């Protein structure tokens, strides 16, 4: 323990680990192997650990440390809509490094919380930080739950909702999982906890999952746990407004108004073309029949932003999260940004 510094930051809620002398990936791998129970305890208590000042330069450096923290990593991410490039067996790009201008923030989410199995741990490492923006965002889902008005807590606590997912075959093929064969897709989906599988076109399948709105961890802690807040267009506007507000300055406020304007006009054009009312399109209910209202979702979005901390990672810095306790997102960015991730094998949520 004496070979590293372990500190609390006043800027975020994760615990920080940094080197005293040796910053090599081999040193960190050995230290992590020797201190696994300690790391587990810290992740459970604070929601995650941020590693600063170590010399992690490539995917293979990150993989060796990630495996030392938890050897149970997965080499597949089947329900991810944006399949990242694999750098090593267990480490993939979060997004294409060719993206150079990403003005929209990425909404807060717990990885895969819209399906029946989630990775218990997720790790992100910045190999090249963006010249402008691109900071990681984290929110403690215990605090998010506590920030919600009591009537929302009461309505959603331990309730279940239906989550629909439509996937193209190429996502499965990209994961080297299954060929284009409905029997195999059905068998696979059953194994992943989907209760309805329907082929809706020559290369698309619809899956239906039942997922919890909240979780109670360790028999006592209530955790807000789903992505309902990001499923409607006006919450996208909340995300844009809050992210650019965080950046400060009049220019950023004006930029956010212009992005909100273009986002709303795109939705309006979809409405005119398809005749689908965006409010009705996202009409959905809890399993007990209660309607999930726009106002509820708005309050969920605000509760996330109220508890969101910014992690401006330098090159080579990384963090490990308990994916049920902490949700993650990303600020808008410009320029080349290389972020990689590793996660543990998905487990049933509840
Ligand atoms: Fe994610």
Distance 119 CA to ligand 1 centre (A): 11
User: How far from 245 is each of 241, 249, 252, 256, CA to CA, in Å?
Assistant: 6, 8, 7, 8
User: Listing from the earlier edge strand, what are the strands of the sheet with 204-212?
Assistant: 160-168, 204-212, 196-201
Q: Is 249 helix (H, G, I), strand (E, B) or coil?
A: coil
Distance of CA 106 from the midpoint of ligand 1 (Å): 9
Measured in angstroms, how far is the CA atom of residue 107 from the centroid of ligand 1? 9
Residue 274 pLDDT grade (very low, low, confident, very high; cuts 50, 70, 90): low
123 CA → ligand 1 middle, Å: 10
User: Which of residues 214 and 85 earns the better pLDDT score?
Assistant: 214
Using alpha carbons only, give the angle 274, 275, 281 rounded to the nearest 5 degrees.
Answer: 90
- 17 Cα to the center of ligand 1, angstroms: 23
How high is the pLDDT of residue 281? 47
**3-state SS, residue 344:** strand
Ligand 1: centre distance to CA 94 (Å)? 8
If you measure from the C-alpha of residue 22 to the centroid of ligand 1, how many angstroms do you get, rounded to a whole number?
31
What are the pLDDT digits (tens) for 43-99? Answer: 999 999 999 999 999 999 999 999 999 999 998 887 775 556 889 999 999 988 888
First-residue to last-residue Cα distance in the chain: 34
Distance CA 349, CA 256 (A): 35
The model's pTM: 0.91
Kindly tell me if the per-residue pLDDT of 41 is higher than 70: yes
User: How remote is the CA of residue 350 from the centroid of ligand 1, in Å?
Assistant: 20
């Amino acid at each position: 323990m004496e070979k590293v510094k372990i500190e609390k930051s006043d800027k975020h809620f994760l615990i920080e680990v940094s080197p005293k002398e040796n910053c090599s990936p081999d040193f960190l791998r050995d230290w992590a192997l020797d201190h696994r129970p300690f790391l587990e305890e810290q992740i459970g208590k604070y929601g995650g650990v941020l590693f600063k000042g170590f010399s992690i330069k490539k995917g293979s450096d990150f993989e060796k440390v990630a495996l030392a923290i938890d050897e149970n990593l997965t080499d597949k991410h089947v329900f991810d809509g944006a399949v990242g490039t694999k750098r090593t067996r267990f480490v993939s790009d979060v997004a294409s490094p060719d993206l150079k201008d990403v003005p929209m923030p990425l909404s807060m989410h717990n990885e895969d919380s819209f399906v029946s199995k989630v990775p218990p741990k997720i790790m992100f490492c910045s190999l090249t930080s963006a010249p402008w923006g691109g900071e990681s965002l984290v929110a403690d889902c215990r605090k998010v739950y506590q920030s919600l008005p009591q009537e929302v807590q009461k309505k959603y606590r331990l309730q279940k909702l239906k989550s629909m997912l439509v996937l193209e075959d190429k996502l499965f093929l990209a994961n080297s999982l299954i060929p284009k064969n409905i029997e195999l897709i059905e068998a696979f989906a059953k194994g992943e906890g989907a209760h309805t599988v329907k082929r809706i076109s020559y290369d698309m399948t619809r899956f239906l999952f039942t997922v919890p709105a909240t979780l109670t961890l360790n028999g006592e802690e209530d955790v807000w746990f789903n992505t309902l807040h990001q499923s409607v267009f006006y919450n996208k506007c909340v995300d844009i407004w809050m992210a650019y507000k965080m950046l400060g300055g009049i220019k950023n406020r004006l930029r956010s108004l212009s992005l909100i304007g273009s986002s709303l006009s795109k939705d309006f054009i979809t409405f005119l073309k398809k005749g689908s009312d965006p409010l009705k399109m996202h009409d959905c209910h809890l399993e007990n029949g209660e309607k999930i209202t726009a106002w509820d979702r708005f309050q969920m979005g605000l509760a996330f932003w109220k508890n969101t901390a910014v992690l401006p990672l330098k090159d080579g810095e990384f963090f490990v999260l308990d994916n049920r306790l902490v949700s993650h997102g990303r600020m808008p960015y410009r320029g080349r940004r290389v972020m990689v991730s590793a996660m543990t094998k998905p487990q049933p949520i509840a």
